[in-house]
Chains A and B, each alone.
Chain A
Amino acid sequence: MLPTPFDPWTKDETFTEYLVRQGLSRRQFLKFCGKVALLLGGGALLSSHDKKAFAKEIAERLNSAKRPTVVWLQLQECTGCLESALRSGDRTLEDLVLSIISLDYNELLMAPSGDQANAALEKASAGPHLLVVNGSIPTKEKGAYCVIGGESAEGLLIKASRSATAVVAIGACAHYGCIQAAAPNPTGAVGVSSIVRDRPVINLSGCPPIGEVITATLLYYVIYGHAPHVDQDGRPLFAYGQRIHDKCPRRAHYDAGQFVLQFDDENARKGYCLYKVGCKGPATFAPCAIMEWNQGCSFPIKSGHPCLGCTERHFFDRMTPFYRRLPGLEVPGTGVELTTNQIGGLAVAASVAGVAVHSAATVIRRQQTHKGRPPRPSPLPFWETKRPESRQIKRNQSRPDPACHHETS
């Protein structure tokens, strides 16, 4: 019913003209717009609060939208993100997006190769275009870790971004470098925003991001001609504005204090909360719990696996260990790992012990000195009492010796 990618939207027609050419009814078109509106967050973050009005707005804007040129670079990555985008499951939507954006250059999907491919890249990069990037940029050894067509990833990216109207970094690799950037980051991998600094970069984080998030962002761009609202990390708020934890189907069990303690226990079968087996949902901003994966089929937590936090910056360094709630801290030089609570417990024990030792020392010290309330020397005859040297107290100098004293001595 909706157009296939084999009959793409051409440069000169508006989107409505294109749809009419495809034989699409107005009703079908509006339905499509409603779907897009839902994807973009029901308008909560946009101008209109009424979903219908929002869908209408999308329709109006799409009516006059012109087909943009898109350059889609794949750098240091695993192709997983593009797989995710292609196999989001919703044939119609994703086909539509692919036909809308008409990829002028993409290593994986384009037909031409060799010089032709390079020429296409050069041509597309010259005019205004939307730049989409998968993968990180290795910066060590002058970029030798990723070279395409004789050009380093960094060089390619700089060239392609020069006249780009917007840059969309798709996937954790393009966001900050993902796994290859994890300590010790042997290739010096960085994300797109570390290289492209003169224009806004939209980060669609995740390893990989959900396909619908990718298509929705691209649609947003087509509809509005500018980037959606983003958070401090450059991630669109419509998708990354809330934590998984706050939308999680297991949240009721969290609030009740019902936890899975082991993966094969009774509670796991009951579908309790995965907090204690390391779920990073409370620290992870992603739409997994709302959109879910593969056309709303499922997502990790729903299928019983704790969230790894893959949409968060440096998740491979910061969200590990994946199956524990909080990382431990290694005692330098020993290889012994202690949890914060163990270290804190030791600190409290040390504090209490310190107090005990110090008060004992005070008591002992007081018995030796003359201030405070000293234990009285026993009123025995002097020849029966022996006082150690240290206990002898200097005579008070200020006390005037009576005259009689001098007479005898």
Chain B
Amino acid sequence: MTRTVNHQGEIQVTLDTPVPYGGVSTRELTVAAALGARAGTRDPVDLAILSAAAHYEDLRHYQQLEYAPPDPEFCRSISRVRHLDSGQEQLIARGDLDSILYLCRAEEAGRHRADLLADIEEVHGFRSVGVARGSVSAVDGHEEWAYLGFIPVRATRSPRSRKEEPAAYRYVPVWDWQLRVLHWTAVFCILSLSLTGWLMGSGNLVYVTPGTDTFYIGWLRLAHFTCGWLLLATALLRIAGLFIASTKYQRWQALFPVTSTDLRNLVRVMLNYLLCIFEQGPHYIGHNPLQQVAYTGIYLVGCAAIFTGFSLYGMYAPDHWLFGHILWLNHLIGPQYVRIMHLATMWIFLAFIPIHIYLSIRADTVEREGAISSIFSGGRWCRKGTKFDDD
């Protein structure tokens, strides 16, 4: 599949692979389409087709004798061109596919198929330029038309910078830099906590050669506790952010589906994910209801990790002015089961991470929602005209 992109000023024209009909070659179709343009045209689409055709043939060998601009009724233009070397003349009709097909009196089946292909193009923004070639009978002046195929064309405005916002999109700040710093700090902490925690907890991979004098577990504990305190600070700042953050996608209202629309969307999104449907579905700038529930859940797991972590940590001083008051879980279920809970939070995190990364990448590539890029850049482009349920 080849796709050529032309920049004509701020208009960006994309030509998809031409779709020739029957035994027609791509070259023939492209050249014919170019010959159908008005001589001296400045139209961006024409220029794009001309430059595509220039790869095949030197168009200076043709002369346009006549040109009928597209009329509103038939939506097609007709040009008469002569090949300078052979002196051969031909008519080229170009325009709306239906109109071109009608011109050629194409059989129903052929028309249906051409339509089908054209529809496919239209869905993701391509228009089909139909092309036909005609000759005039020397005997009775009857025009004989042959359908050549069509070329999918898309014209968009090229985004140059965020400030010059393209007409079709707008830039929405979603995650401020504070939140992104917290997110990546938490990622760092959770990964190092998992590694150090697993190493020191299981005592695996630490078999020290006899006689050597090390402080292996001691250092692991130091690293674990340092990251633990850092994660606590991250969590506290995030909690503060729930009330003072700069965008509403970060505040506490975004933690749960609150409105009835959100609740309905929750079910829809779940079905979409389950059945692998991605072309429809509710659009959200921040998190969709399923993501909200999942991420709030993971926040709670994080809180559980911190709480059980400090329950274990606090055991060093049960009469401490602060830790003395957070050891109630140890008394309730016993320190061994607190350890198991703590260990379980690690596994929940580790099981969550692949799904989290997958869904974020998927949101960018399949659903085009821009989630993964937004956690790096902080914002996302939203297509105008799309209705966002949390706008």
Check A243–B315 contact: CB distance below 8 A.
Answer: yes
Check B358–A355 contact: CB distance below 8 A.
Answer: yes
A256 to B112 CA separation, bound complex (whole angstroms): 78
In this assembly, does B21 line the interface, its C-beta being within 8 Å of a C-beta of chain A? yes
Check B354–A371 contact: CB distance below 8 A.
Answer: no
A408 to B98 CA separation, bound complex (whole angstroms): 11
Residues of B in contact with A, size category? 35 or more
Check A237–B319 contact: CB distance below 8 A.
Answer: yes
In this assembly, does B322 line the interface, its C-beta being within 8 Å of a C-beta of chain A? no
Which residues 370-404 of A have a CB within 8 angstroms of B?
A: 370-374, 376-377, 379, 381-383, 385, 387, 392-393, 395-396, 399, 401-404
Contacts of B366 in A (CB 8 A): 362, 366, 372
Check A381–B22 contact: CB distance below 8 A.
Answer: yes
- Of the A-B pairs whose beta carbons lie under 8 Å apart in the complex, a sample of 17, sorted by A's number, is A254-B217, A256-B208, A256-B215, A280-B336, A312-B334, A318-B334, A340-B347, A351-B351, A366-B366, A371-B123, A376-B1, A377-B117, A379-B17, A379-B20, A385-B113, A402-B75, A404-B99
The 6 A-B residue pairs whose C-beta atoms are closest, nearest first, are: A344-B347, A318-B334, A283-B335, A257-B206, A257-B216, A382-B113
Which residues 313-364 of A have a CB within 8 angstroms of B?
A: 313-314, 317-319, 325-327, 329, 340-341, 343-345, 347-348, 350-352, 354-355, 358-359, 361-362
Given A372-B124, A393-B116, A395-B115, CB of A402 within 8 Å of CB of B315: no
Q: CB < 8 Å: which of B124, B277, B352 contacts A351?
A: B352
Contacts of A107 in B (CB 8 A): none
In this assembly, does B236 line the interface, its C-beta being within 8 Å of a C-beta of chain A? no
Which residues 96-127 of B have a CB within 8 angstroms of A?
A: 96, 98-99, 102, 105, 109-110, 112-117, 119-120, 122-124
Q: CB < 8 Å: which of A285, A371, A377 contacts B124?
A: A371
In this assembly, does B242 line the interface, its C-beta being within 8 Å of a C-beta of chain A? no
Q: Which residue of chain B is the closest to A404 with respect to CB atoms?
A: B102
Q: Which residue of chain B is the closest to A235 with respect to CB atoms?
A: B318
Given A241-B318, A285-B318, A393-B116, CB of A361 within 8 Å of CB of B203: no
Which residues 323-349 of B have a CB within 8 angstroms of A?
A: 324, 327-328, 331, 333-337, 339-340, 343-344, 346-348
Contacts of A197 in B (CB 8 A): none
In this assembly, does A270 line the interface, its C-beta being within 8 Å of a C-beta of chain B? yes
Check A232–B318 contact: CB distance below 8 A.
Answer: yes
Check A283–B336 contact: CB distance below 8 A.
Answer: yes
Contacts of B114 in A (CB 8 A): 382
Check B74–A312 contact: CB distance below 8 A.
Answer: no
Check A326–B217 contact: CB distance below 8 A.
Answer: no
Q: How far is the CB of B121 from chain A (nearest CB, A)?
A: 9
Contacts of A318 in B (CB 8 A): 333-334, 336-337
Q: CB < 8 Å: which of A358, A387, A404 contacts B74?
A: A404
In this assembly, does B87 line the interface, its C-beta being within 8 Å of a C-beta of chain A? no
A406 to B120 CA separation, bound complex (whole angstroms): 23
Check B119–A257 contact: CB distance below 8 A.
Answer: no
Q: CB < 8 Å: which of B149, B346, B355 contacts A344?
A: B346
Mark B residues whose CB is within 8 Å of A.
Answer: 1, 16-23, 26, 73-75, 96, 98-99, 102, 105, 109-110, 112-117, 119-120, 122-124, 149, 202-203, 206-208, 210, 212-218, 273, 276-279, 315-316, 318-319, 324, 327-328, 331, 333-337, 339-340, 343-344, 346-348, 350-352, 354-355, 358, 362, 366
Given A319-B336, A327-B340, A376-B1, CB of A256 within 8 Å of CB of B354: no
Check B316–A370 contact: CB distance below 8 A.
Answer: no
Given A319-B336, A393-B116, A396-B119, CB of A372 within 8 Å of CB of B214: no
Label chain B's interface by main secondary structure.
Answer: helix
Residues of A in contact with B, size category? 35 or more
Question: How does the 8 Å CB contact mask read for A236-280 relative to B, with 1 for contact and 0 for none?
Answer: 010001110010000000111111000000110010000110001
A351 to B352 CA separation, bound complex (whole angstroms): 7
Given A257-B206, A344-B343, A402-B75, CB of A392 within 8 Å of CB of B116: yes
In this assembly, does A49 line the interface, its C-beta being within 8 Å of a C-beta of chain B? no
In this assembly, does A231 line the interface, its C-beta being within 8 Å of a C-beta of chain B? yes
A242 to B114 CA separation, bound complex (whole angstroms): 83
Q: How far is the CB of B305 from chain A (nearest CB, A)?
A: 13
A16 to B86 CA separation, bound complex (whole angstroms): 137
Q: CB < 8 Å: which of B19, B110, B348 contacts A347?
A: B348
Max count, chain A CB within 10 A of own CB: residue among B149, B212, B358, B362: B358
Max count, chain B CB within 10 A of own CB: residue among A309, A326, A351: A351
Contacts of A270 in B (CB 8 A): 210
In this assembly, does A27 line the interface, its C-beta being within 8 Å of a C-beta of chain B? no
Contacts of A369 in B (CB 8 A): 279
Q: Which residue of chain A is the closest to B122 with respect to CB atoms?
A: A396
Check B319–A341 contact: CB distance below 8 A.
Answer: no
Q: Which residue of chain A is the closest to B150 with respect to CB atoms?
A: A379
Q: CB < 8 Å: which of B102, B213, B334 contacts A402?
A: B102
Contacts of B102 in A (CB 8 A): 402, 404-405, 407-408
Q: CB < 8 Å: which of B277, B278, B344 contacts A340?
A: B344
Check B208–A312 contact: CB distance below 8 A.
Answer: no
A254 to B214 CA separation, bound complex (whole angstroms): 10
